[in-house]
Amino acid sequence: MSISHERMNIPETVAIIMDGNGRWAKKQGLPRTAGHKKGADQIRTIALEANRLHIKKLILYAFSTENWKRPEEEISYLCKLPGIFFSRFIKELMEKNIRVTFAGELERFPKDTQKVIRKAVDQTKGNTGLELCIAINYGSRREIILAIQEYTRQVVEQERANDLNEEDFSHYLFVPENVDLLIRTSGEERISNFLLWQIAYAELIFTQTAWPDFDEKALDECIQEYNRRDRRFGAVK
């Protein structure tokens, strides 16, 4: 039975490292691409549940800057996945009032992939429910360097004063929000260059469940665990 957002403290911003597609497929005797396809289906499942729970922003780590090291055949399939996903689910996302955004550098992807993602962003930009942010060709260290470069450029060109603070800096990032809850699926317990600035005070949950099996119940259990945590932000209660 799904939890009710009315009885729980629901995190505003949730980030998920969607890990385990390949290992899931291997256990099923299937090619890795089958795991990625099933994983894409779970994006829909978790986005709808997050929207139901009134989570404001869901950030999903879909493709990292390091993923370019994977076999060419796998990368080619991953580049096609946004087109497959949005062709199947964009109508439902619109009906559920979900807004699509992305974090990362799209320019390295094929033109067709860029077009599909930008079209989904444009189609849903008026929606006011969950913000579904896809982190694609994203790396947190790269994000921070780009932010520093842009801030420095503005100071050098006298577009702003040299008076940067933490709140200002966050607005130079792909993702300006602080993350309340970070979940990583499939048993690994590391951050893998994801939202390093934004998770400074996030609650971290590492689950053994592979992403293709991470369903509404698994998300609800993570929210319940989040509610059991005592978030003090360095203070004493």
DSSP for 44-66, please give it: HHHHHHHHHTT-SEEEEEEEEGG
**What integer pLDDT is reported at residue 8 of this predicted model?**
76
Q: What single-letter DSSP state applies at residue 209?
A: S
| pTM, 2 dp | 0.94
> What's the mean pLDDT when you consider all of the chain?
94
Tokens 């962003």 sit on residue: 121
CA distance 234 to 220: 27
Q: What is the mean pLDDT of residues 200-217?
A: 97
Report phi then psi at 147, rounded to 5. -65, -45
Q: What is the mean pLDDT of residues 45-70?
A: 96
Amino acid at 55: I
**What integer pLDDT is reported at residue 103 of this predicted model?**
98
112 is annotated as an active-site residue: no
**What integer pLDDT is reported at residue 232 of this predicted model?**
72
pLDDT digits (tens, 9 = 90+) for 108-147: 999 999 999 999 999 999 999 999 999 999 999 999 999 9
Report phi then psi at 102, rounded to 5. -140, 160
Catalytic residue among 19, 51, 127, 137: 19
Domain map (residue ranges) of the chain:
8-139+178-228
Contacts by 70-74, CB closer than 8 A, 24 or more apart: 73/33, 74/32, 74/33, 74/36
CA distance 130 to 48: 9
Residue 26 has pLDDT above 70, yes or no: yes
Is residue 237 very low, low, confident or very high in pLDDT (cuts 50, 70, 90)? low
**What integer pLDDT is reported at residue 175 of this predicted model?**
98
162 is annotated as an active-site residue: no
CA distance 85 to 235: 43
Fold of 8-139+178-228: Undecaprenyl pyrophosphate synthetase (3.40.1180)
CA distance 100 to 126: 10
Q: What is the mean pLDDT of residues 68-81?
A: 93
Tokens 């890795």 sit on residue: 32
Residue 217 has pLDDT above 80, yes or no: yes
**What integer pLDDT is reported at residue 75 of this predicted model?**
94
**What integer pLDDT is reported at residue 230 of this predicted model?**
83
Catalytic residue among 41, 51, 67, 215: 67
pLDDT digits (tens, 9 = 90+) for 168-191: 999 999 999 999 999 999 999 999
**What integer pLDDT is reported at residue 3 of this predicted model?**
63
8 A C-beta contact, residue 195 and residue 59 = yes
User: Given strand 13-17, what is the order of strands in its sheet?
Assistant: 99-103, 131-138, 57-64, 13-17, 181-184, 203-206
Report phi then psi at 199, rounded to 5. -95, 20
**What integer pLDDT is reported at residue 235 of this predicted model?**
66
